[in-house]
């Protein structure tokens, strides 16, 4: 089943924006772990994941399921209908209810904290833009504005009210810089994130074969502030290799048919619709 196209007119240019044209499946595998590091770099989010007692949602224990639920969220947030977004929000809420700090937690957190969810949504938006531009080059202003407006859904599909999403890209940049003041990765969270980055939680052959390439890609996608927090180095030569690699991947990606270019997001959106139809668990 083809993913529905959401059309968002940009009032300033009268150009139709089709989100499906900017949903690249490869970005989930290229930039996903880097984006998780960005999200968890604020201590309440990091400890909310590290200390979570919801074992069914842990990537270290159930990597396939975690990938499905995360990519389904992105698919339904960006391409789903309003009803589908409401249904998925309700399912995510059930998983989030047990996620809150305890008496021994070093920081206070709650999965329903709108400010923390806004930070996660902002990271997701930055990930969308960073991966698109790394592969295809800078977006023109009209497209960038339309994409930004559409990505409000990355927050409102959770608990973030629309008024909390910065009204334009300039306001977002200000909010982003302000939010960086709260970025701090301590040794406990860094150890967890390093294991994700190097694939230590995966079986030995995967960890051995793909740990170093994964670390290179993750480091390439991380802005410098987050590299510093993770104690990662990336030379100018590394950056040039990374840029060349992403341009090649982008050139190949642009030549793929639309459904293949959007895979696996379109697959997970179809899976969600089937789960709703047959009353199966969504998360």
pLDDT at res. 206: 86
Q: Which residues contact 255 (CB under 8 A, 6 or more apart)?
A: none
Question: d(Cα 283, Cα 280) in Å, to the nearest integer?
Answer: 9
Q: Which two tokens stand for residue 272?
A: 């969600």
Q: Which two tokens stand for residue 107?
A: 């920081």
pLDDT digits (tens, 9 = 90+) for 1-44: 334 334 343 333 445 799 999 999 999 999 999 999 999 999 99
pLDDT at res. 212: 95
Question: d(Cα 283, Cα 65) in Å, to the nearest integer?
Answer: 8
N-to-C CA span, the chain: 21
Helix (H, G, I), strand (E, B) or coil at 8: strand
Question: d(Cα 167, Cα 64) in Å, to the nearest integer?
Answer: 36
Phi, psi of 222 (to 5 degrees): -80, 130
Domain boundaries, the chain: 7-277
Helix (H) or strand (E) holding 89: helix 82-96
User: pTM for the complete prediction?
Assistant: 0.91
pLDDT digits (tens, 9 = 90+) for 192-249: 999 999 999 888 888 889 999 999 999 999 999 999 999 999 999 999 999 999 999 9
Closest CA to 222 of 118, 131, 115: 131
Q: Report whether 61 contacts 258 (CB < 8 A).
A: no
Pairing of strands 7-10, 15-18: antiparallel
Report DSSP state, residue 15: E
């Amino acid at each position: 089943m083809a993913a529905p196209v959401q059309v968002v007119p940009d009032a300033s240019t009268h150009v139709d924006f089709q989100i499906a044209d900017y949903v690249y499946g490869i970005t989930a595998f290229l930039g996903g772990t880097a984006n998780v590091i960005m999200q968890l770099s604020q201590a309440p989010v990091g400890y909310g994941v590290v200390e979570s007692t919801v074992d069914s949602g842990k990537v270290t224990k159930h990597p396939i399921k975690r990938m499905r639920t995360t990519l389904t969220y992105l698919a339904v947030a960006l391409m789903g209908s309003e009803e589908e977004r409401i249904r998925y929000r309700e399912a995510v809420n059930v998983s989030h209810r047990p996620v809150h700090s305890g008496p021994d937690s070093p920081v206070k957190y709650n999965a329903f904290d709108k400010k923390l969810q806004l930070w996660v949504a902002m990271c997701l938006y930055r990930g969308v833009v960073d991966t698109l531009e790394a592969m295809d080059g800078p977006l023109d202003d009209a497209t960038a504005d339309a994409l930004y407006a559409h990505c409000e859904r990355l927050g409102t599909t959770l608990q973030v009210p629309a008024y909390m999403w910065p009204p334009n890209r300039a306001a977002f940049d200000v909010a982003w810089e302000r939010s960086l003041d709260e970025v701090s990765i301590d040794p406990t969270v860094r150890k967890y994130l390093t294991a994700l980055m190097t694939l230590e939680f995966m079986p030995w052959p995967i960890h051995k074969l793909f740990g170093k390439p994964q670390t290179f890609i993750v480091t390439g996608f991380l802005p410098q502030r987050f590299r510093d927090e993770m104690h990662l180095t990336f030379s100018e030569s590394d950056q040039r290799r990374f840029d060349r690699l992403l341009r090649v991947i982008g050139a190949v990606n642009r030549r793929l048919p639309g459904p293949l270019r959007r895979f696996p997001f379109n697959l997970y959106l179809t899976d969600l619709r089937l789960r709703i139809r047959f009353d199966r668990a969504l998360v």
